Amino acid sequence: MADYIDLLKNKAMTLIMSLPSNDPELAKVAFEYGADVVKVHINVEHRASKTHFGSIDAEKEKFEEMLSNAKGPMGIVLGGETVVANNDFDKAAAMGFKFISLYGHHMPISVLQSKDVYRMMACDYSYRLEEIKMFKEIGVDVLEASIVHPEGYGDDLNSRDILNYRILCKESGLPVVIPTQRKIKPSELSILDEVGVSGIMIGAIVTGKEIESIKRTVCDFKEAILKL
């Protein structure tokens, strides 16, 4: 299985599927249709997909099935609170998840200090550039640029977004992953590639929540990446 960081550093652009629900069939389809990486969630109400994700114990059997059939690395969002994330971290690492994905203000020190997983730390629209430039200094492996204000979720990608993504790619010193908070189109991947984006993480805003729309969207994004 490919290493998550190697994928981000060596591929033209890495395709990450953020599942709208913890359904093993969706994970299987995502990998089959071209995703390099799959990400799941626990302990959170996901704003974009409007889905409630349960505890790691409640989702355990589903995760074990996904991980046993995975064709690439898988990561997990441990929730929206530091205490909850800390409580479930060891279980997630033991299951075989390769990276932990959390906002900086939700990431417990135990994750930051761990040698067992990669850390994909997200910044939202409120983070200062001075903070983001220090992510690498404290042991973060990947920057997730979740910088769109919630009021703008689902809007079209604009030129100011590209400017901000370029700043983060240039100044962070880390592989940068862009989640589809905007309704990013496959045809727009070329400009994201030009400004240095390492990975595109597609989720409910562009994929929808049904299996057929996920198949179609993953395939379309993969085809666009292969043309870069």
Residue 102 maps to which CATH number?
3.20.20.70
- Please compute the mean of the pLDDT values over residues 163-189 and round it to a whole number: 98
- Please compute the mean of the pLDDT values over residues 154-162 and round it to a whole number: 97
Contact 171, 133 (CB under 8 A): yes
Higher pLDDT, 172 or 47: 172
What is the number of domains present in the chain?
1
- Please compute the mean of the pLDDT values over residues 107-115 and round it to a whole number: 95
- Nearest Cα neighbor of 144 from 6, 3, 18 is 18
- Please compute the mean of the pLDDT values over residues 176-190 and round it to a whole number: 98
pTM summary value:
0.95
> What's the mean per-residue pLDDT of the chain?
95
Percentage of the chain exceeding pLDDT 70: 98
- Please compute the mean of the pLDDT values over residues 63-69 and round it to a whole number: 97
Alpha helices by DSSP H, the chain: 4-10, 24-32, 56-69, 82-95, 109-113, 129-132, 159-172, 189-194, 204-207, 211-226
Full residue range of the structural domain in which residue 174 is found? 4-226
- Please compute the mean of the pLDDT values over residues 50-67 and round it to a whole number: 91
